[in-house]
Chains A and B, each alone.
Chain A
Amino acid sequence: DQQVKQNSPSLSVQEGRISILNCDYTNSMFDYFLWYKKYPAEGPTFLISISSIKDKNEDGRFTVFLNKSAKHLSLHIVPSQPGDSAVYFCAASADTGNQFYFGTGTSLTVIP
């Protein structure tokens, strides 16, 4: 049972434009969300987080939006850079033991 879903396996964006990566979840108990970035042959690296008490969190070029009623979150990257090309995973946790459930990932390609 996939509790966290990323329905777009891949996304291509021109350098300088906005990248929008989407994530949906089914468990209404999830209250803490993370985005990770993964390069080939490396482990995922933490990018940005958001708690359910907020609907937006910003860190430089990265902004995460949370729509609790729709059980949907999105990651915006503005402006996109070629170095952003990677696989992006969203992850969600309920308030039990800091266990995170991961989506299947979206492969972002930023075209120079």
Chain B
Amino acid sequence: EAGVAQSPRYKIIEKRQSVAFWCNPISGHATLYWYQQILGQGPKLLIQFQNNGVVDDSQLPKDRFSAERLKGVDSTLKIQPAKLEDSAVYLCASSRPGRSGYTFGSGTRLTVV
């Protein structure tokens, strides 16, 4: 099966600019996650979708971050405006229903200068 696709792989922007990341999960995986991994730390959940509904967005900084999953398939994560501390790798993952491990994409490395 094809893996989780993410784009772009790398992005460099200036602070206060906006940026968007795209994710296409594994076909048939109803649950989609966006994680933020800051250098030297473990991945931290930003938002979890079940089909096109939000299950948990309690750790999403909603004043600047937004995410959507239209039609329950692809998802987009946006940051506007970006801050220096948003520099991180943004990982998208998907999973089947129920208790199971995730399949992660390769991530988007964001550098805010």
Contact = CB atoms under 8 A, between A and B. Distances in A.
B42 A104 contact: yes
B45 A43 contact: no
A97 B91 contact: no
Interface string B67-97: 0000000000000000000000001010100
Contacts of B41: 104
Interface string B87-113: 000010101001111111111000000
Given A46-B101, A89-B43, A104-B41, A97 B48 contact: yes
Interface residues of B, number: 28
A99 B43 CA distance: 12
Given A97-B48, A102-B44, A43 B56 contact: no
Interface of B: 4, 6, 31, 33, 35, 40-45, 48, 50, 55-56, 91, 93, 95, 98-107
Interface of A: 4, 6, 32, 34, 36, 41-46, 49, 89, 91, 93, 95, 97-105
7 contacts: A4-B42, A36-B101, A36-B104, A43-B91, A44-B91, A91-B42, A102-B35
